[in-house]
Amino acid sequence: MAWAENQSKFDPDRLIFIDESGTNTKMARLRGRAPRGQRLVGKIPYGHWKTTTFVAGLRSSVLTAPCVVVR
């Protein structure tokens, strides 16, 4: 309730929202399509799982302090 009441008092140019997004090599498709009667051949990484995370501060006019973490 206090947030809603005081929201109009905030200066939008001073707000920073932290956003995180990521991807993983395990996110490869498990299924695919091939013409009837033909085997589907596709390559995905096996046993070398990597995770990439992207973190940044979002301002009203610019993206601030981007950081990429690879594990």
State pLDDT tens for residues 13-63: 999 999 999 988 777 777 889 999 999 888 776 767 789 999 999 999 999
Q: Retrieve residue 14's tokens.
A: 């001073």
Q: State residue 69's pLDDT score.
A: 92
Q: Which pTM was predicted? A: 0.61
pLDDT (0 to 100) of residue 17: 95
Rounded to whole angstroms, how far apart are CA atoms 17 and 63? Answer: 10
Averaged pLDDT, 3-10: 88
Please, which residues have CB within 8 angstroms of residue 51's CB and are 6 or more apart in sequence? 22, 23, 24, 25, 70, 71
Count H helices, E strands: the chain?
A: 1, 3
Determine the straight-line distance between the first and last CA of the chain, rounded to whole angstroms: 40
Read off the pLDDT of each residue in 7-16 and give the average, rounded to a whole number: 90
